Amino acid sequence: MSILGKNFIGYSLSSQNQHTFRSYVPAENTELPETFHAATQEEVAKTMELAQKAFDTYALIPATKRADFLIAITEEILAIGDALLERAHLETGLPLARLQGERARTINQLTQFAELIREGSWVEASIDTAIPDRAPLPKSDLRKMLVPIGPVIVFGSSNFPFAYSVAGVDTGPALAAGNPVVVKAHAAHPGVSDLTAQAIVKAALRTGMPDGVFSMLYDDGYEVGAALVKHPASKAVGFTGSIKGGMALYKMAQEREEPISVFAEMGSVNPIVILPEYLEKKSQQLAKTLAGSVTLGAGQFCTNPGLVFVTESESLGLFEETYKNEIIHIGSATMLTAGIRKNFYKLRDELVAEPGVTELAFSPVSADLENQSQASVAKVSGKDFIDNPKIHEEVFGPFSLLVVCKDHNELLAAISHLKGQLTASLMAEPAEAAKYPSLLQSLSRICGRFIMNGVPTGVEVCPSMHHGGPFPSATDARFTSVGRHSILRFVRPQSFQDWDDSLLPDELKNANPLEIFRLVNNETTKREI
């Protein structure tokens, strides 16, 4: 087990000439004293060699022991205590209460995967027994299940230092499925990454996992990530971030001699459509709810509602006035990095300067704090929105654009110009929604999660959650990065034909001792322990 690039655990090949960087404190515009070493190409090669070797052993370890490993990770993370939260608070500026919740979510995610692989049905075992005397041709014995694919490369995300980072939504299912993981730590929170990685390594040692089952590399640039994706031992990539970053990795992966899958979640504007009858009944409540969602976490969520669609009505004035007042009275918040803050203001100012766009309101900024956000909301007509693709794009931060359409036909036309989204929301009573089947169909086709009378911020970790969507919100709309089904990204189906029962994987044996669901000759059966 190795965390490369730093001398805490394992080994380091760092030299005096190796590039280094420090951890940034966004709320104070200062740096912490620790030095982090960007990995060398030699370290990348050694890491992947370890991971490939570990795969030969780890893929054969029983699921129950892999589950023990996942639970040990949760125990080691909790054992760090408040030091982990405090370091995350320093490196991200996120409130401690938010970080406590995110740590709990990370523990829950890992626990759910441990339970999933112990139960066993996730392998989708299917058994068709032989019929040697079938006419005109005999039938072979065929058995199929999902199997791990090999080393998975995980890129930590800037806005979720726990749940989408070192032990997050990509690492958990990849390890659960039987794949070694190599993490490229996010440079925005290297100290948090280090503490979490050490917890994983301790858990691996406790539970007897093979050396190389988990490694982590540092870099504050792009060279290490590119080298990991291009390495021939890499078999899949998990990424959460910008469209630019996700597509760069996707292109690298497709240009390899052996192309591999990149499961990239790349952001979304998460449109919200408010129908007129619902707006009339709940205009003030809706305005308050939307303002809270837009500014939650300084707007640094991939589910931030960046577009709100309405049609002209008598209730629109009250809604706009309440919305403006709510935004004005929301205090500023620290953004994750100076770069994210700079990009937010740049994109917001460019969008507001587009023809037909009017800024309705913006919040004050605390002058005595660094890297503060300024929540704002702007307005544009449906026609101008349709005519200008530049204002359709995501502004990562506390910003939302109100699109006012003259009628329902213009609303439909505006929706038709949207690309793929993680979410879409409809604010309407059921009877009103039923009047507009074309709108429901249009919204449904562009999103991974379709929400009624709710905002998109807040992602429940459960089997029925789909966190992904049509391109460009994600590179593959068939898969989720949240919930038990996210494990399907890191497996492949394999059939076994006419194998002796003693040589088959346990999940496919006739005398399977596991409590799993299996499809036997097209009939679902459950074998009890």
CATH level 2 (architecture), domain 2-11+37-266+479-489: 3-Layer(aba) Sandwich (3.40)
pLDDT (tens digit, 9 = 90+) per residue, 53-72? 999 999 999 999 999 999 99
Q: Phi and psi for 221 in degrees, rounded to 5?
A: -130, -145
The angle at the Cα of 285, spanning 280 to 288, to the nearest 5 degrees, equals 130
pLDDT (tens digit, 9 = 90+) per residue, 203-235? 999 999 999 999 999 999 999 999 999 999 999
Q: Cα separation of 482 and 29, whole Å? A: 33
What band does 528 get if pLDDT is binned at 50, 70 and 90? very low
pLDDT (tens digit, 9 = 90+) per residue, 153-184? 999 999 999 999 999 999 999 999 999 999 99
Residue 1 reports pLDDT greater than 80: no
Mean per-residue pLDDT for 297-305?
Answer: 94
Mean per-residue pLDDT for 411-415?
Answer: 98
**CA torsion through residues 297, 284, 319, 309, sign:** positive
pLDDT (tens digit, 9 = 90+) per residue, 81-128? 999 999 999 999 999 999 999 999 999 999 999 999 999 999 999 999
**CA torsion through residues 312, 315, 320, 326, sign:** negative
Single out the catalytic residue among 43, 76, 91, 265.
Answer: 265
- Output 512 or 235, whichever has higher pLDDT: 235
**Model pTM above 0.85:** yes
Contacts of 155 (CB under 8 A, 6+ apart): 170, 183, 184, 186, 225, 237, 238, 239, 240, 241, 249
What is the chain's alpha carbon radius of gyration, rounded to the nearest angstrom? 25
Q: Cα separation of 65 and 209, whole Å? A: 9
Is-catalytic flag, 265?
A: yes
| Predicted local confidence at residue 511, as pLDDT | 67
Return the CATH superfamily for domain 272-452: Aldehyde Dehydrogenase; Chain A, domain 2 (3.40.309.10)
What band does 527 get if pLDDT is binned at 50, 70 and 90? very low
pLDDT (tens digit, 9 = 90+) per residue, 360-411? 999 999 877 889 999 999 999 999 999 999 999 999 999 999 999 999 999 9
10 Å CB burial of residue 285 (0-12, 13-18, 19+) is: exposed
Mean per-residue pLDDT for 298-312?
Answer: 96
Share of the chain above pLDDT 90, in %: 91
What band does 516 get if pLDDT is binned at 50, 70 and 90? very low
Residue 73 reports pLDDT greater than 60: yes
Contacts of 95 (CB under 8 A, 6+ apart): 89
| Predicted local confidence at residue 369, as pLDDT | 81
Domain boundaries, the chain: 2-11+37-266+479-489, 272-452
Asked, colleague to colleague, whether 2-11+37-266+479-489 and 272-452 share their fold, the answer is no
pLDDT (tens digit, 9 = 90+) per residue, 231-272? 999 999 999 999 999 999 999 999 999 999 999 999 899 999
Is residue 175 within 8 Å of residue 66, measured between CB atoms?
A: yes
Residue 517 reports pLDDT greater than 70: no
Mean per-residue pLDDT for 13-31?
Answer: 82
What's the mean per-residue pLDDT of the chain?
A: 93
| Predicted local confidence at residue 368, as pLDDT | 77
Task: Tell me how crowded residue 256 is: count the other CB atoms within 10 A of its CB.
Answer: 13
Single out the catalytic residue among 43, 76, 102, 302.
Answer: 302
Both structure tokens of 459: 């992602």
